[in-house]
Amino acid sequence: MASSIVASVAGYSSQEDLTPRTLDYLRGIEKLFEPESVKIVTSQHYGEQAKYVSVRVDEKDAKKWDTLELIQLTDIQFGHKACKIQRVIEYRDWILSKPNRFILMTGDNVDAATIFSPGTPWDNLFGPQSQAYRFAEIFAPARHRILGYVGGNHERRAMPSFGDIGTLLAVLLRIPYSNGRQSIDVHFGNHKPFKIGLWHGVGGAKTKGAVAQVLDRFMQWGDHQLYLMGHLHQGMIVPAWREMRDGRGGIKLEKRIAAIGTSFLETTGTYGEIAGFMPHDVLMARAVLDLDGKWQMTLR
């Protein structure tokens, strides 16, 4: 199993090419993995990326769980001195405390500061690659709950010197990754399927109105029901409806919701303060799917 990961990460062809320490690390990560909770199939592959993800919950599990909770984790920015790491662990453990809770990651999992990025590398506790390895160790026990992951500008910070950190994280954890957008279908009960769009986001919107406009623009893309975004460090939910042909000669309304979580990074004393972001605590988007096809949206 380790050799397949190694081949993806470093291009090695056999275990003999590796130092014992490297193999021990990869085996150690794998020992933290739990059995798969749901069936995940990926398509629209671009290199290491998967743009389309299909998730299927077993009928027995669906009836036993009754609901399915989809929790956004965004802008963790692990590795920065001001990352609220205890809150990260708290969210991870809360998700793992119930079998029906799953994770959708919308970017900036690591801070990955370099000499090319805002702030300084000295704001970080260790370098970008080390951040990826240590982040993988933290989320290895929860990797079977991660349904999708899109990279953010922080994963791309290392592009001029190393490469996309998001790709490395996805290979280590064996999770579906896209550096841009990702479409996810979740088959659960009468949701056949529930359609999700992930995107990290762009721009420097700071007012509530500007953030809402970015979310509204995101909702014009694709045919998703749930749109999740990060980047702007503001918690917000924007609901909307779309007219849909019902296949029987009529028109029905389909609920759409776009949501954005905040961040696990402190604002005061970081580049967020300099950039003019409002101080905030951790607030993540959470969708709850019922077996009957209905669903609700909250911030937690």
- pLDDT at position 246 is 87
37-299 fold: Purple Acid Phosphatase; chain A, domain 2 (3.60.21)
Q: Percentage of the chain with pLDDT > 90?
A: 75
- pLDDT at position 270 is 86
| Residue 269 in this model has a pLDDT that exceeds 90 | no
| Poorest-pLDDT segment among 21-30, 79-88, 178-187 | 21-30
User: Mean pLDDT throughout 114-128?
Assistant: 82
Q: Give the CA distances from residue 135 to residues 77, 130, 258, in Å, rounded to whole numbers and listed in that order.
A: 10, 8, 27
User: Mean pLDDT throughout 99-121?
Assistant: 89
Q: Dihedrals φ, ψ of 163, to 5°? A: 140, 180
* Tokens found for residue 227: 């749109």
The total number of residues written for the chain in this structure:
300
Q: Give the CA distances from residue 174 to residues 27, 31, 75, 116, 198, in Å, rounded to whole numbers and listed in that order.
A: 13, 13, 20, 29, 18
Give the pLDDT confidence of 46-99 residue by residue, as tens digits.
999 999 999 999 999 999 999 999 999 999 999 999 999 999 999 999 999 999
What are the extents of the domains in the chain? 1-31, 37-299
- pLDDT at position 250 is 95
| Residue 10 in this model has a pLDDT that exceeds 70 | no
For residues 160 and 116, the answer to whether their CB atoms sit within 8 Å is yes
Residue 157 or residue 101, greater confidence: 101
| Residue 1 in this model has a pLDDT that exceeds 50 | no
- pLDDT at position 37 is 93
- pLDDT at position 4 is 43
User: Mean pLDDT throughout 218-236?
Assistant: 95
| Residue 6 in this model has a pLDDT that exceeds 50 | no
Tokens 């702030």: give the residue: 119
Give the pLDDT confidence of 137-167 residue by residue, as tens digits.
999 999 999 999 999 999 998 887 778 999 9
| Residue 11 in this model has a pLDDT that exceeds 60 | no
Q: Which of 141, 172, 171 is nearest to 33 (CA)?
A: 141
Q: Is the dihedral of CA 117, 121, 123, 126 positive or negative?
A: positive
User: Mean pLDDT throughout 224-241?
Assistant: 96
